[in-house]
Amino acid sequence: MKRISLILITALISLLFASCSSYGVKKEIDKSGQIKRLEKVGIIIRTPTSAILTNAEILLSIQKWSGAYREKKELVYLSSEDVSEDIITYDARLGRFAQVDESRSFMRFKTIGVVNMFFRNHGEELRRVMEAKGLDGLIIFEVDGFYSQELQYIDMYSVTIMTDADFNILFLDRQSKARNVNEIVGDRVRGILLNDIGGRFVTVLRKIHCLEI
């Protein structure tokens, strides 16, 4: 009887964890014709100041992932040596591009408003960088990840913004991924999260005509 009860409890726990796994990607803006005309694009990774992964770690990881593909456009990865901390990090929920309401529903127009405000605040610096490096477009990949060691659970949310040299939004998509991981060692969990981010990054860059096999 105890054995049967233990099997039932194990099965219920497994079902509970399975129900927590989810994945979704939604494209909000896609001006494919204008995207194809871009030739040299800068890439910025944007993360919260409280992120479990550093901006430099993510940048290095996605460069390794993208190295397996052929560039259809020239890609220039911009780090903290190229742009200020205010551009590559944010420290408040109101400052993040991915704006969601209390039910975690995406707020499209508020997100666009936050993005436009970001470019108004940092446009002068970004224009100088783009001019110095000969860029005609920008990709900002904003990503935030959460890990619960007790639940062995990863939750990741990312937003991709692509603009032309005048900061007109040519592409905007969002992605959420939540899943259980059978791992409690911190470094291994960080590796799993970095791979999830890298896979998401190269997938979206293939969609916006920047990478191909």
pLDDT bin (cut points 50, 70, 90) of residue 18 is: very low
What is the rounded distance in angstroms from the CA atom of residue 86 to the CA atom of residue 106? 24
> What is the predicted pLDDT for the residue at 184?
59
Long-range contacts of 140-143 (CB under 8 A, 24+ apart): 140/44, 140/46, 140/97, 141/43, 141/44, 141/45, 141/46, 141/62, 141/201, 141/204, 142/45, 142/46, 142/47, 142/96, 142/97, 142/98, 143/45, 143/46, 143/47, 143/58, 143/197, 143/200
pLDDT bin (cut points 50, 70, 90) of residue 94 is: confident
What is the rounded distance in angstroms from the CA atom of residue 95 to the CA atom of residue 144? 13
Answer yes or no: is pLDDT of 181 > 80. Answer: no
Backbone angles phi, psi at 167, to 5 degrees: 65, 25
> What is the predicted pLDDT for the residue at 8?
41
* 8 A C-beta contact, residue 141 and residue 201: yes
CA–CA–CA angle 88, 48, 168 (5° rounding): 50
> What is the predicted pLDDT for the residue at 52?
83
Answer yes or no: is pLDDT of 122 > 60. Answer: yes
Interval 53-66 mean pLDDT:
94
What are the extents of the domains in the chain?
23-212
3 state SS of 102: coil
> What is the predicted pLDDT for the residue at 77?
98
129-180 confidence digits (pLDDT tens): 999 999 999 999 999 877 666 667 677 889 999 999 999 999 999 998 877 7
Answer yes or no: is pLDDT of 21 > 70. Answer: no
Interval 92-113 mean pLDDT:
89
Interval 32-36 mean pLDDT:
97
> What is the predicted pLDDT for the residue at 133?
98
Q: Between 162 and 91, whose confidence is greater? A: 162
Report pTM. Answer: 0.85
Q: By C-alpha distance, which of 49, 46, 30 is closest to 201?
A: 46
Tokens of 123: 């446009």
Distance of CA 56 to the CA centre of its chain: 14
184-210 confidence digits (pLDDT tens): 556 787 888 899 999 999 999 999 999
Strands 74-78 and 40-48: parallel
Answer yes or no: is pLDDT of 9 > 50. Answer: no
pLDDT bin (cut points 50, 70, 90) of residue 12 is: very low
Backbone angles phi, psi at 144, to 5 degrees: -135, 135
